[in-house]
Amino acid sequence: MNRDFRQNKAQKSIPAWKSLASKGGGKHDGKSYTKMECLVKASEIDGTSASTWYKLATEKGGVVNGKAYDKKQCYQKAVENDGKYAMAWFKLGKEGGGSINGKAFNKQECYQRSVEEDEDYALAWYHLGVADGGKVNGTRYSKKQCYQKALEKDQTYASSWYNLAFEGGGTVNGTDYNKKQCYQRALENDETFSAAWNSLGYNGGGQVKGKAYSEKQCYQKALECDEAYALAWLNLGKQGGGKVKGTDYNKQQCYQKALENDATYSAAWNRLGYNGGGQVKGTAYSEKQCYQKALECDETFAIAWYNLGGQGGGKLKGTDYSKLQCYEKACESDQTLRKAWAKLGQDGGGTVGGKRYTAEECKEKGKE
């Protein structure tokens, strides 16, 4: 009788613990409890409440009845107690998937379950697209179709527009959007989306909220949003440089900024070399050294091999390459690089991909 009374009292206290948790924690019977501790208390009394486990996961988990549960395990418990809990399936997917009642679900399968339980869940559709699409209620959806579904449910989600652009654009609620228009829609919903500004620039620029932006201005906007964006610095450099947050940068300085933010950026090293070299993080690099750095980052970078050949060759990862060998490497990396073939022809021919080419054959390939 006494035990039943205690259990009944504990059950009646669950709403109080949940209420206290919703307030971020507080005092109960004179003792202070954090939000997480309140959720733990509620779970210890009733371990079948999916919503309590879900909320405990948002607090990164806790120790319930002597057993530690991390965030992922809490989402698993939520789904085990309510298999129709779309948000819990979604969150479990973001944790990489998990095991439910002994059955393994990968992240793609979790997103599939999430949208099967709630077809209007735009964010779950988006993440299913990122996971390469999947089958929902017997119908197969490609990446592109998932982004379209996400946007049919929520046209304000910038990342869905951006990813749809990468799929070449598409139809949303009966309206066709090309790649550029998708980038524009992404920026209309999030003007701080640096990657979308960069991509809009790469596609020639365009209007955003009634204002026209040139290719160059798009790269400048990308860098105003994210000054560490190496690709946008490279692209601004290709435009001859420009002003970012009140400071003027010439093209050489843009390539230097790209490399300060990503020292493995082979294309920026090559561009810096082509513009005479320069300092990166306090170290001076000659034109030739820039090409060598580009090739240290990417040994298949044909144009950097060509440019190193123009410098008479050089050492790469402990191996010396003559001018001729650089042109051979350029042709091996890109057999369509006509100017490398032409140079190889001028130097009497060479061996590319194990095959010997005469000077005349190289010159002919240089004209193709």
DSSP conformation letters of 298-358 = -TT-HHHHHHHHHTTEEEETTEEEEHHHHHHHHHHH-TT-HHHHHHHHHTTEEEETTEEEE
- Domain boundary, last residue among 298, 328, 347: 298
Examine the domain organization and report whether 276 and 324 are in the same domain: no
Q: What is the pLDDT of residues 166-177, one digit of tens each?
A: 999 999 999 999
Q: Which of 172, 200, 226 is the C-terminal boundary of a domain?
A: 226
Are 222 and 233 found together in one domain? no
Could you read off the pLDDT tens digit of each residue along the chain, which spans 368 residues?
Answer: 445 544 555 566 688 788 888 888 888 888 888 899 889 888 888 888 899 999 999 999 999 999 999 999 999 999 999 999 999 999 999 999 999 999 999 999 999 999 999 999 999 999 999 999 999 999 999 999 999 999 999 999 999 999 999 999 999 999 999 999 999 999 999 999 999 999 999 999 999 999 999 999 999 999 999 999 999 999 999 999 999 999 999 999 999 999 999 999 999 999 999 999 999 999 999 999 999 999 999 999 999 999 999 999 999 999 999 999 999 999 999 999 999 999 999 999 999 999 999 999 999 999 88
65 assigned to some structural domain: no
Residue 24 lies in a domain: no
- Give me the number of domains the chain comprises: 3
The answer to whether position 312 is within a domain reads: yes
**Does residue 263 belong to any structural domain of this protein?**
yes
CATH of the domain at 288: 1.25.40
DSSP output for 170-183 = EEETTEEE-HHHHH
Q: Please tell me the predicted confidence (pLDDT) of residue 274.
A: 96
Q: In the listed set 281, 298, 315, which residue is the last one of a domain according to the structure? A: 298
Q: Are 247 and 293 within one domain? A: yes
Is there a contact between 26 and 19 (Cβ–Cβ < 8 Å)? no
The set of residues, in sequence order, having a beta carbon less than 8 Å from that of 3 and lying 6+ positions away, is none
Structural domain for 323, as ranges:
302-368
Domain co-membership, 272 together with 316 = no
**Shared domain check, 365 and 354:** yes
